[in-house]
Chain A
Amino acid sequence: MENQTLSRRSFFNRLWTLLGTLAFAELIALLIIYFKPRKSRTAATNQDAIIIAGSVDSFEPGTVTAFVRGKFYLARLDDGGFLALSRSCTHLSCTVPWVSGKNRFICPCHSSEFDIRGDVISPPAPRALDLYPVAIENNVIRVNATRPERRSEYAADQIVYPGKT
């Protein structure tokens, strides 16, 4: 008798603990979902998702052009290929300016340096500058500025060349 009531009690205690834990986990999940960054909260940047940068011929080889609205640089390499480089330093996210006199990006915050392809010349930056996808159709360059893609260093297949038309 005594034993039975005890075990029933402990059964309910366990049940409550289980239900309580579940409810708590649910609450946490709810909070996480509620506070996750939402599209609508960052809407302003999303309208600029696809940026039409211009025609291929308007960019000289070996130059870098800043796009303030898309927060990227369009670099045309000497061989005519294109890269859209994020302007955020991979060290601690300062905005890196292109110093054309020295032909490199130099971060004002902790002096990381990057070459025209975004590769690190001088640390503390740990990775090459992030890339945005570039598409060239009918000689018009479009950059998808939604989300930068990480890379550890420059590789030849990252370059986008104008179609041979």
Chain B
Amino acid sequence: MSPARQICVNYLVPDSIIARRISDTNILNILQRIRLSIFPGNQATESEPNDSRKYLHSFLLHFRPATVPERSLKLSLTWGLGGMAAVLVFVLFATGLMLKFVYQPSPGAAYDSIAYLNTQVPFGQLVRNLHRWGANGLVFISFLHFLRVFYTGAFVAPRQFNWLIGLTLFAAIVLSNFTGYLLPWDQQAYWAVTISTSMLDYIPWVGTGLKEGILGGSEPGKATLMNFYAIHTAILPALLLFFLPFHFWRIRKAGGLVIPRSAAEPPDIRGAEVNTMPNLIAREVTMALVLLAVLLILSMLLNAPLADQANPGLSPNPTKAPWYFMGIQELLMHFHPLYALLVIPLLLVFGLLSLPYISYEVETAGVWFASVKGRKMALVAVVLATAATVASVWLDEFVINSGLSSTPGMTANGLLPFAFVLTACAGFYILMKRGFKASNNEAIQALFTLLMTAFVVVTVIGIWFRGAGMQLMWAG
């Protein structure tokens, strides 16, 4: 038989089966027919009454393989963090769509529409709380997810590109949060956005143009609200809807998650496979329900704040950027703006982007902290970075500048401290590598830990230890 004929014959076979099925449907009642039209794969007959569950399962399994390695189900691999982030994205889409029916994006109406939502719309305040706490939770949880992916070595091949997709998702989430922050148009929002966008002014050449492009003018106003609303409710959601499935698809393409193992076990260990349903799905649903319960309780107990209506003539004291920008605002207190806003962030982003493309001496994917030694080195980095960061903030504040800084020259406040920090990092790397006789995996991990800890510490200082007039103080 020629190949062409064979295709013909093969093509005919399913046809005849379909024809038989259609004649069979005559014996079904209307509900069964509707169900068959939605799930045409198989029919549930009385002899196999449980089959309908399979359809549901195959739907839930869309993104999943039929089986997963038993080892990757361990809570201590993922801590459910990626799943939690996905659940929060879903909650944010749902509540965001609800808010869209009440909210009015213009300076004259925005504040009142939120106040109306809070006081007149049944469950309006609750929906707003869910959206607000969900959004902040998402920034926090996706940061933790980012840390877990890093510390389990899940960013090297074949997961390199998914690390980049993850960073894109994280950027989209932070920007969503920031653009959403302005929408209530209250004092807190107006001034947080004023000072956050004014930071751009310090970027040479393009900064002011960039700022005015984002604001649609030289200060926040009608055009700003329109811009932020469009970005917050259309552009970033579309971006998320594109990159999230991409993220999940790449996990499948990589053959699933990294397999957690001890450093002694071989890198290609895989272990037994178990059915995705119910083993993985049941865990995910449980996690989602617990998270939803926590979020709901939080949203019932704690209202999203709404300050006075925005007043361009009166800055509240203190005025602070949103909490996830506090690290940058704190840097701005110690470094020349060019370094605080451009050089240091760009270098960090570049470092994060290139992490998966460095060539590593040891294969550590799946091993928490690369090894026992790696864990010790990371611990040293945490302690050292905490002490050094607190000490230098204190020194800079009370000894070197005795007061708030950042006016004096580029060299004194920019190049000099920057070169100092850079040298300290390089010295740290070399000392750790030699001192511990470590692989470059472990040493790079220690350096990453050092920088992340420093970032978290400056963020914490900015959030809790800066009071009126941004003076350093010792409690909230």
Total A-B pairs in contact (CB under 8 Å)?
95
Closest chain-A Cβ to B76's Cβ sits at a distance in Å of 43
Say yes or no: A124 contacts B405, CB within 8 Å: yes
Say yes or no: B217 contacts A37, CB within 8 Å: yes
Query: Given A108-B317, A111-B469 in contact, is the A44-B219 Cβ separation under 8 Å?
Result: no
Size class of B's contact patch? 35 or more
What per-residue 1/0 map shows which CB atoms of B292-321 lie under 8 Å from chain A? 000000000000000000001111111100
Q: 7 shortest A-B CB distances, which residue pairs?
A: A108-B317, A123-B407, A94-B315, A111-B469, A92-B195, A93-B198, A41-B223
Query: Given A93-B195, A108-B316 in contact, is the A124-B216 Cβ separation under 8 Å?
Result: no
Q: Within 8 Å CB of B221, what residues of A?
A: 42, 44-45
Q: Which of B201-223 contact A (CB under 8 A)?
A: 201, 212-213, 215-219, 221-223
Say yes or no: A41 contacts B222, CB within 8 Å: yes
Closest chain-B Cβ to A94's Cβ sits at a distance in Å of 4
> Does chain A have a CB within 8 A of B191?
yes
Say yes or no: B404 contacts A124, CB within 8 Å: yes
Q: Within 8 Å CB of A91, what residues of B?
A: 198
Complex Cα distance A96/B194, Å? 13
Query: Given A42-B221, A94-B319 in contact, is the A37-B212 Cβ separation under 8 Å?
Result: yes
For the residues of A in contact with B, the DSSP-based class is loop
> Does chain B have a CB within 8 A of A125?
yes
In the complex, what residue of chain A is closest to B199 when comparing beta carbons?
A: A92
Q: Within 8 Å CB of A124, what residues of B?
A: 333, 404-407
Query: Given A41-B223, A110-B404, A111-B404 in contact, is the A95-B314 Cβ separation under 8 Å?
Result: yes
Complex Cα distance A111/B403, Å? 10
Closest chain-B Cβ to A154's Cβ sits at a distance in Å of 15
Q: Within 8 Å CB of B201, what residues of A?
A: 93
Q: Within 8 Å CB of B219, what residues of A?
A: 88, 93
What per-residue 1/0 map shows which CB atoms of A104-146 lie under 8 Å from chain B? 0001111110000000101111100000000000000000000
Say yes or no: B312 contacts A95, CB within 8 Å: yes
Complex Cα distance A120/B405, Å? 13
What per-residue 1/0 map shows which CB atoms of B6-28 lie under 8 Å from chain A? 00000000000000000000000
> Does chain A have a CB within 8 A of B144?
no
Q: Within 8 Å CB of A42, what residues of B?
A: 216-218, 221-223
Complex Cα distance A93/B199, Å? 9
> Does chain A have a CB within 8 A of B251?
no
Say yes or no: A107 contacts B217, CB within 8 Å: no
Say yes or no: A110 contacts B222, CB within 8 Å: no
| Chain A residues packing against B (C-beta within 8 Å) | 35-38, 41-42, 44-45, 68, 71, 87-88, 91-97, 107-112, 120, 122-126, 147
Q: Within 8 Å CB of B212, what residues of A?
A: 37
Closest chain-A Cβ to B461's Cβ sits at a distance in Å of 14
Complex Cα distance A87/B221, Å? 16
In the complex, what residue of chain A is closest to B401 when comparing beta carbons?
A: A123
| A95 partner, pick from B313, B406, B408, beta carbons under 8 A | B313
| A108 partner, pick from B194, B218, B318, B405, beta carbons under 8 A | B318
Complex Cα distance A42/B224, Å? 10
Query: Given A92-B195, A109-B195, A110-B470 in contact, is the A37-B223 Cβ separation under 8 Å?
Result: yes
Say yes or no: A126 contacts B407, CB within 8 Å: yes
Complex Cα distance A122/B407, Å? 9
Query: Given A124-B333, A124-B404, A126-B407 in contact, is the A37-B215 Cβ separation under 8 Å?
Result: yes
Complex Cα distance A152/B40, Å? 74
Q: Can you spell out 17 A-B residue pairs with CB atoms less than 8 angstroms apart?
A: A37-B215, A37-B216, A37-B218, A42-B221, A45-B221, A71-B312, A92-B194, A92-B198, A93-B198, A94-B319, A96-B315, A107-B315, A108-B317, A108-B469, A109-B318, A111-B471, A147-B218
Say yes or no: B470 contacts A109, CB within 8 Å: yes
